[in-house]
Amino acid sequence: MPAWTPSSWKSKSIAQDVEYPDPGHLSKVLSKIETLPPLVTPSEIERLRHQLGQVQRGEAFLLHAGDCAESFDACTHENISAKIGLILSFSLILIWGARLPVVRIGRIAGQYAKPRSSPKEKLADGREVLSFRGDNVNGLDPNDRTPDPGRLLSAYFHSATTLNHVRALLGSGFASLHHPRDWSLNHVRSPSLRTHFEAIIDSLSDALDFSRTIGVEGSTGAASFAQGGGRGTVGEVDFYTSHEGLMLEYEQALTRAFPIAVPVAPATATFKANGTSNNQNADAIKENGGDAKSFYNTSAHFLWIGDRTRQLTGAHVEYFRGIRNPIGVKVGPSMGAEELVTLLDVVNPDKEAGRVTLITRYGAGKIDEHLAKHIRAVQVSGHGVIWICDPMHGNTQTSASGLKTRHFGTIISELTASLRIHAACGSRLGGVSLEFTGELNDEGFSVTECVGGSMELGEEELPMRYQSFCDPRLNFEQSLDVAFLISNYFKK
């Protein structure tokens, strides 16, 4: 295979390419981004690789979740803390019920670019304009659709601000298990959901009290266990960022050569106990003579290739094959079984654990036709992967009022089919990828974008608080419904 460089993708065909009217302006912006500091560090990326290795071995569960797309305007304290609060609540339900550590990756701090099914959009007034491609490319306002390179710089700074706030929240006790009610339970309407969640919190308080009494709170006590992947303190948890690696110029500008890093301080008890956690790195470091470098994408810990940009000979696969980060690949109904194996050969030739997460998104009506076939092909190939189910993207439909929606029942149907098919194939579902939000309006009510769930949201209620400008997201209650379902499944 020809040599990889951070720019070798440029010689390939670029799906979903953006044409900038002023290439000089783009070059200037990219040169600036190249000088800016990394958003995440190689050690953090290595820690995630290690933890994804644990997911691959069935020792932990992966939660990948957040907005379909972030917007610059939604970069507020309220939105960020609501998102983190929901991710923490969701993972607490899983950890408590299923007794499985959870690796948390947010679609956050950089999830701005959107692939589009058509480059142009026809407006109600008959005008044809360029499609909205995400806040890092052009504006949602139909009069602001010309791609502006300055938005890439803005994306960098909004990502940095978001990440700074996430780090600040988690570093100052927001995740403390001593007060999970602060994560925004107050508005949960469904009485049964409230009761279930409160029961967990009450049991947890008891366990924490007990641990404190016998003096084992912290790295070995209930707090550490319940955090799942936490650092052994009651207030700190591991949390990782991700986005679709769509805008390759931007990704290249944040791709930096570093010596292969040793993961940041031991994250969990198992990390220390199995004693093998750094072997892969130690080998890689030895092989490289100790001083060779690897390319890390420092814009996020985890990046994924979308279903529209995963062509074997295309630019995105070329870029992704050379970065050291753990990566995701969306797998939809149009993916051939052989094609999938070839793709794995390209992006993970050394079959390294924790490197590839396959994010399947067929749709409830199509999963039976495709998932087992894909699992078998990967099993025969000898590739180890993490399989996670995205029950959102194959199940989008248009409601009577014209709003894009997803039905809770259909989402659950794809998720339960995925659990069933993995079990039948001797495989294991290692996680979920969800579009959800803990966002509330001024009166403290959740968004109304997906139909159903324990709150029984009706189609006629969708326009009440529909806030997504992209795909419809599960709200707080609907997300906890999903968490209880998974938690109960793994409890058995």
Q: Is residue 182 marked as binding?
A: no
String of contacts with ligand PEP for each residue 40-79, x by CB under 6 A: ----------------------------x-----------
Check residue 307 for interaction with ligand PEP (CB under 6 A). yes
Provide, rounded to whole angstroms, the least separation between the CB of residue 307 and ligand PEP: 4
Binding site partner of 115, from ligand PEP, Mn ion, none, Cβ cut-off 5-8 A by kind: ligand PEP
Stretch that binds Mn ion, among 30-38, 83-91, 335-343, 469-477 (CB under 5 A): 469-477
Q: Is residue 393 marked as binding?
A: yes
Check residue 359 for interaction with Mn ion (CB under 5 A). no
Provide, rounded to whole angstroms, the least separation between the CB of residue 483 and Mn ion: 20
Provide, rounded to whole angstroms, the least separation between the CB of residue 167 and ligand PEP: 24
The burial of 277, by beta-carbon neighbours within 10 Å (0-12 exposed, 13-18 middle, 19 or more buried), is given as: buried
Among 83, 104, 321, 330, binds ligand PEP (CB under 6 A): 330
Q: Is residue 404 marked as binding?
A: no
Provide, rounded to whole angstroms, the least separation between the CB of residue 390 and Mn ion: 9
Q: Is residue 75 marked as binding?
A: no
Q: Is residue 32 marked as binding?
A: no
Among 64, 165, 393, 407, binds ligand PEP (CB under 6 A): 393
For residue 194, what are the CA distances in angstroms to 162, 188, 189, 442, 490?
29, 6, 7, 21, 21
Length of the chain: 492
Provide, rounded to whole angstroms, the least separation between the CB of residue 472 and Mn ion: 9
Taking the least distance from each CB to Mn ion, the nearer of 151 and 361 is 361
Count of chain residues binding Mn ion (CB under 5 A): 2
Provide, rounded to whole angstroms, the least separation between the CB of residue 433 and ligand PEP: 7
Binding site partner of 307, from Mn ion, ligand PEP, none, Cβ cut-off 5-8 A by kind: ligand PEP
Q: What is the 3-state secondary structure (H, E, C) of the chain?
A: CCCCCCCHHHHCECCCCCCCCCHHHHHHHHHHHHHCCCCCCHHHHHHHHHHHHHHHCCCCEEEEEECCCCCCCCCCHHHHHHHHHHHHHHHHHHHHHHCCCEEEEEEECCCCCCCCCCCEEECCCCCEEECCCCCCCCCCCHHHCCCCCHHHHHHHHHHHHHHHHHHHHHHCCCCCCCCHHHHCCCCCCCHHHHHHHHHHHHHHHHHHHHHHHHCCCCCCCHHHHHHCCCCCCCCCCCCEEEEECCCHHHHHHCEEEEECCCCCCCCCHHHHHCCCCCHHHHHHHHHCCCCCEEEEECCCCEEEECCCCCCCCEHHHHHHHCCCCCEEEEECCCCCHHHHHHHHHHHCCCCCCCCEEEEECCCCCCHHHHHHHHHHHHHHHCCCCEEEECCCCCCCEECCCCCEECEHHHHHHHHHHHHHHHHHCCCCCCEEEEEECCCECCCCCECCCCEECCCCECHHHHHHHCCCCCCCCECHHHHHHHHHHHHHHHHC
Among 29, 60, 68, 260, binds Mn ion (CB under 5 A): 68
Check residue 108 for interaction with ligand PEP (CB under 6 A). no
Check residue 115 for interaction with ligand PEP (CB under 6 A). yes
Among 471, 474, 477, 480, binds Mn ion (CB under 5 A): 471
Residue nearest to ligand PEP (CB): 306
Site residues (CB under 6 A) for ligand PEP, limited to 348-377: 361
Q: Is residue 107 marked as binding?
A: yes
Please choose, from the candidates 106, 112, 175, the residue with its C-alpha nearest in 3D space to the C-alpha of residue 147: 112
Binding site partner of 243, from Mn ion, ligand PEP, none, Cβ cut-off 5-8 A by kind: none
130 sits in the region (left: phi over 0; alpha: psi -120 to 50; else beta) called beta
Check residue 222 for interaction with Mn ion (CB under 5 A). no
Provide, rounded to whole angstroms, the least separation between the CB of residue 108 and Mn ion: 14
Residues in Cβ contact with 380 at an 8 Å cutoff, skipping those fewer than 6 apart:
341
String of contacts with ligand PEP for each residue 170-209, x by CB under 6 A: ----------------------------------------
Among 110, 306, 430, 453, binds ligand PEP (CB under 6 A): 306
Rounded-to-integer distance, Cα 261 and Cα 285, Å: 9
Provide, rounded to whole angstroms, the least separation between the CB of residue 59 and ligand PEP: 26
Provide, rounded to whole angstroms, the least separation between the CB of residue 473 and ligand PEP: 10
Q: Is residue 158 marked as binding?
A: no
Stretch that binds Mn ion, among 132-140, 179-187, 260-268, 464-472 (CB under 5 A): 464-472
Binding site for ligand PEP (CB under 6 A): 68, 115, 306-308, 330, 361, 393, 471
Binding site feature residues? 68, 107, 330, 361, 393, 435, 471
Where does this chain bind Mn ion (CB under 5 A)?
Answer: 68, 471
- Enumerate the known binding-site residues for Mn(2+): 68, 393, 435, 471
